[in-house]
Structure 1
Amino acid sequence: MKLLLSIVISILVASSAEEKLPLCSVCTCKFKENKFSAEVICNKDTSTIWTQNSTWINPSNNESYDYSSVSLLNQEIYVLNYTFLPSNLRYLSLANSNIRQIANSPFRNLQNMNTLILSYNELEILSPHTLKGLYMEERLMPLKSLKVLKLDHNKIHSLHMDIFEHTTDLEILDISYNPFKIIDKQTTLALSSLAMLKELYLGYTEINTLPDQLLHTPRYIEILDLSGNPLTAIPSTLGETHNLTTLYINDTGFMNMTKENGFPEIPSLKVLYMCNNRELQSIGKEALAGLSGLQELSICNNIKLTILDDFALAKINQHGGATWPMIKKLNLYNNKLAYLDSDLLSRWDMLTDIDLNGNPWTCECENQWFVDELAPLYLKINPEREPEFRCGAPVEMQGDLFVDLHARQYKMRCLDIYGARPETDAMLLVGVLLGVLIGLPVILFIIYAYQRQWLSLLWCDNSPASYSRRFYSSTARDEDL
């Protein structure tokens, strides 16, 4: 009964609030239980409504309406020259609204705004006054609450060096899918000014490296995304990070990752994604050796990757000894790997998650440890993925499950020194044997038939000489008498 009463009250409260909030008359609104604060989503052009002051300020008491979140999507704004009135608004999205230009400080009154989304627009240039806030003695006219800024999917080539001077507390910045091509000096200075930045998204910006010291000042960066860029070497500046824990380098230009073009020392890194690298063919010895703190490794959907070196993760010291990171999650899904050495990890028993599916694993003695050790571990950790952990070669074992081979205590054969596969030669050997058994009697019969002149009957020679030879024998020689 109490629950029903609570639901009825919530509906009545929401209905009452919806009637009072102007944006709710033309947009979709959601209300938290027993709250008048609204989350507004407008998916059509409502410029005649949201640009009216009466939409934000209640004329009866001159107080701002309680919108907690407003998403003005698919608008036809072009030039944003409207200055938002004071509000408790904490989230504002103007995504996909054809914004080409933004006037000075349109958001200055939104001092409680935590998140600003300007994604999927036509922005090319941002003035340093775009994000200007209100005057404060101790700070330079800040948007004091802004923590998240998304500028992805625009047409930005460079950032003004002072673009973030009013938003120095930014923690998340997304400038992915902009045609930067290079991170120039102005952009470097702008990014370096964000001392509190924790997440930086630079994916699909057409850059092939990062400038030196770019990541030295933002000492709190934890997540960095460099996916979709034509990288052929890991930027050395990554070694200057202090707290980087997660790195995305998916869909890059790598063909062969080696110790020379691989990772610098990044002991703080715990999670690495290297997926969808369409040209990546090999990951060599010590290519990942600098990642001593790595715990989660995803190398997946690299459709040409055939070589993952035994010591790709190992760091080899001058005395020949090696150390490995303690990997807990390993994802090698859907590559072209045929062999995997047990030395790739030092402690396979430490894994809490593993996915090796989608690879053409060769069932030969080099992978015997798959049957003896990895199959039971795989079944224990991820029994739901077990049906896909199977042999890809040779032909006669294609599709066999490793867990089934383990149950049978199967011992996989080894190739000889010439790489021959006797089992594939069986039909040929049988054919040769049958040829000998059948061909030898036939040849002997032909020789005997020739001697007995039976073969002459096969030719129809009707000449007089041939006719005479059928009735007369050759004249006996003197020595035969």
Structure 2
Amino acid sequence: MYRFCLLILLCLCAAFTKCDNDNNKQKLPLCGTCTCVFDNDQLPAKVNCKDDVTRLLQAESTWINPLNNQSYEYSELTLTNQEIMFLNFTFPTSKLTYLSITNSEVYRIVNSPFKNLENMVTLILSNNGLDLLMPDSFKGLYMEERYMPLRSLKELRLDHNNLHTLNMNLFEHTTDLEILDLSYNPLKVIDKHTTIAIDSLPFLKELYLGYTQIKTLPDQIMHTPIQLSILDLSGNPIEEIPETLGESHNLTTLYLNDTGFINITKNSGFPEMPSLKNLYLCNLRNLERIESESLSGLSGLQELHICNNIKLTHIDDFAIAKINEHGGATWPMIKKLNLFDNKLGYIDSDFLSRWDLLTYLNINDNPWTCECENQWLIEDLMPTYKKINPENANSVKCGAPIEMNGEHFIDLYERQYKMRCLDIYGAKPEQDAFMLVGVLIGVLIALPAILFIIFAYQRRWFGLFNMCDNSPAAYTRRFYSSTPRDEDF
């Protein structure tokens, strides 16, 4: 009986709690106009506003409950397609941890609009028209030990705007930033003011500078952010590896996709970067060759992605190896290798020291030359590839020579096929079959014809031969003819 009563009491409490939560959700002002999502059907709310609610945002009643003078329980707010232009109103006190204002034509931020959002961790201002930002844009509330900080802000996204430079004091109120995204802004160069602004972020861990039209990195920009671990320089017309990368302290991931490299050599290659673990060199439209020791400074490399490079035909056997003065070499312990969709015909077994340690491999969509120098791909690599990724292993094909084009590696492996060696001069005798047959047929036809002509000449079957005979007898025959047998005397 006691247990039964306790069960009823718990059910009643749960019902009352649910009703109370439902009432709270209905009372959230933004939920009447925007879409609200609740984790496990509980507050706080994640709000998404796709229509213009600018006036509603400026009303204090949207944020503060007049019954108890407490902030409504919003955790995230996403605003798109707003008509803000001048972001000059101040958000009331709120427990928001995430604020996104995108595609809203914001090109000026004034009057410290975010200062009351003391719990905000992420601020996204992407896809607007921002062309100038002042330090007051990110000013927070007074703190005795710090200069009016946005004390919780860790992530700031300013991508897809119109910024050409940054104020040198822009981040004086956001010194705890860990993630900064400046990609798709027309910076063209990272000037001194921008460099100082970035260097003022000692806890920065991720920096995104993709598609900013920069050609290199300024000296010493990597020296101050000692915790920087991810750097994205993709989509920029960079033709040589910036030497200042060698000043990085804890850089683990580097993106150099869609840049301007043509050949990566030992002299133009990577400086000593022992902390780097992940390197991306994909979608390089002009890259043709990666030469010996060009990546030898990356002794801690674990993931190498070289993919979708439409002109890349050569990767040297010792591209990632470091050759010592005695002729020996050391390799990084690569665990993931992606060579997808290049123009590679060969890859040497010495490119990696331990292919058997790979946990990921993709060599598909390359015109591999199926001859004896690549025999190791069939015999040694295919068992490992089949174990790591059977689906990819089953689709690797030969691209040359012509009689092997389209052959699957997995079939050659199962047949224990031994590929022949190409002619040292590049000759391809397998393509001479039709010519040899033609020569044979020609000989078989010509020999009887020649014998017939000789026999006919000796028998003088055709008067044409007499015209070519210069002997004395032939000369006499031109003037005398034999007497017909039926002539009467």
TM-score by length of 2: 0.90
CA distance in structure 2 between the partners assigned to 1:87 and 1:197 by the alignment: 26
Q: Is the 8 A contact 2:210 2:232 kept in 1?
A: yes
Percent identity, aligned pairs only, is: 63
CA distance in structure 1 between the partners assigned to 2:232 and 2:46 by the alignment: 30
Aligned partner of 2:175 among 159, 168, 171? 168
| SS across alignment from 2:104 | coil
Deviations 1:10-42 (A, max 9, x none): 975664333111111111100122522000001
CA distance in structure 2 between the partners assigned to 1:342 and 1:7 by the alignment: 65
In the alignment, does 2:354 pair up with 1:347? Answer: yes
CA distance in structure 1 between the partners assigned to 2:462 and 2:24 by the alignment: 112
In the alignment, does 2:383 pair up with 1:376? Answer: yes
Task: Report the equivalent of 1:460.
Answer: none
Aligned partner of 2:429 among 411, 422, 430? 422
Q: Is the 8 A contact 1:221 1:243 kept in 2?
A: yes
Aligned partner of 1:226 among 228, 233, 236? 233
Aligned partner of 2:314 among 286, 304, 307? 307
Q: Is the 8 A contact 1:252 1:277 kept in 2?
A: yes
How far did residue 104 of structure 1 move? Answer: 2.7
Equivalent runs, 1:318-329 vs 2, <5 Å: 318-329=325-336
Given residue 173 of structure 1, which amino acid in structure 2 is its aligned partner?
A: L
Task: Report the equivalent of 2:450.
Answer: 443
Deviations 1:176-225 (A, max 9, x none): 00000000000000000100000000000000110111011100011110
CA distance in structure 2 between the partners assigned to 1:367 and 1:473 by the alignment: 80
Equivalent runs, 1:156-305 vs 2, <5 Å: 156-305=163-312
In the alignment, does 2:131 pair up with 1:133? Answer: no
CA distance in structure 1 between the partners assigned to 2:69 and 2:430 by the alignment: 88
CA distance in structure 1 between the partners assigned to 2:320 and 2:140 by the alignment: 48
Task: Report the equivalent of 2:487.
Answer: none
CA distance in structure 1 between the partners assigned to 2:13 and 2:294 by the alignment: 60
CA distance in structure 2 between the partners assigned to 1:42 and 1:6 by the alignment: 33
CA distance in structure 2 between the partners assigned to 1:473 and 1:227 by the alignment: 100
Deviations 1:57-108 (A, max 9, x none): 1122222111000001111111101100010000000011100111131100
How far did residue 392 of structure 1 move? Answer: 0.9
Unaligned runs of 5+ in 2: 1-6, 465-478, 484-489
Which one is further off, 436-445 or 176-185? Answer: 436-445
CA distance in structure 2 between the partners assigned to 1:150 and 1:372 by the alignment: 49
CA distance in structure 1 between the partners assigned to 2:240 and 2:292 by the alignment: 15
Deviations 1:284-329 (A, max 9, x none): 1111000000001110000110000000000111121111000011
CA distance in structure 2 between the partners assigned to 1:235 and 1:226 by the alignment: 10
Aligned CA distance change for structure 1 residues 13 and 225 (closer, same or farther; 3 Å): farther
Given residue 195 of structure 2, which amino acid in structure 1 is its aligned partner?
A: T
Which one is further off, 328-337 or 389-398? Answer: 389-398
Q: Is the 8 A contact 1:199 1:222 kept in 2?
A: yes
Q: Is the 8 A contact 2:57 2:91 kept in 1?
A: no
How far did residue 452 of structure 1 move? Answer: 4.8
How far did residue 448 of structure 1 move? Answer: 3.7
| SS across alignment from 2:77 | strand
Deviations 1:423-456 (A, max 9, x none): 1111111111111112222233344445556556
CA distance in structure 2 between the partners assigned to 1:177 and 1:50 by the alignment: 28
Deviations 1:362-389 (A, max 9, x none): 0011111111101111111111112221
Given residue 385 of structure 1, which amino acid in structure 2 is its aligned partner?
A: N
Q: Is the 8 A contact 1:18 1:25 kept in 2?
A: no
Please give the root-mean-square deviation of Cα atoms over the aligned residues, in Å.
Answer: 2.4
Given residue 82 of structure 2, which amino acid in structure 1 is its aligned partner?
A: Q
In the alignment, does 2:345 pair up with 1:338? Answer: yes
How far did residue 109 of structure 1 move? Answer: 0.4
| SS across alignment from 2:138 | coil
Aligned CA distance change for structure 1 residues 152 and 8 (closer, same or farther; 3 Å): farther
Q: Is the 8 A contact 2:386 2:394 kept in 1?
A: no
CA distance in structure 1 between the partners assigned to 2:13 and 2:304 by the alignment: 47
Q: Is the 8 A contact 1:14 1:31 kept in 2?
A: no
Q: Is the 8 A contact 1:13 1:35 kept in 2?
A: no
How far did residue 263 of structure 1 move? Answer: 0.6
In the alignment, does 2:484 pair up with 1:474? Answer: no
Which one is further off, 436-445 or 135-144? Answer: 436-445
How far did residue 406 of structure 1 move? Answer: 1.8
Aligned CA distance change for structure 1 residues 30 and 309 (closer, same or farther; 3 Å): same
Unaligned runs of 5+ in 1: 458-471, 477-481
How far did residue 46 of structure 1 move? Answer: 1.7
List structure 1 segments (4+ residues) > 6 angstroms apart after TM superposition. Answer: 4-11
In the alignment, does 2:395 pair up with 1:405? Answer: no
Task: Report the equivalent of 1:391.
Answer: 398
| SS across alignment from 2:385 | helix
Q: Is the 8 A contact 2:345 2:367 kept in 1?
A: yes
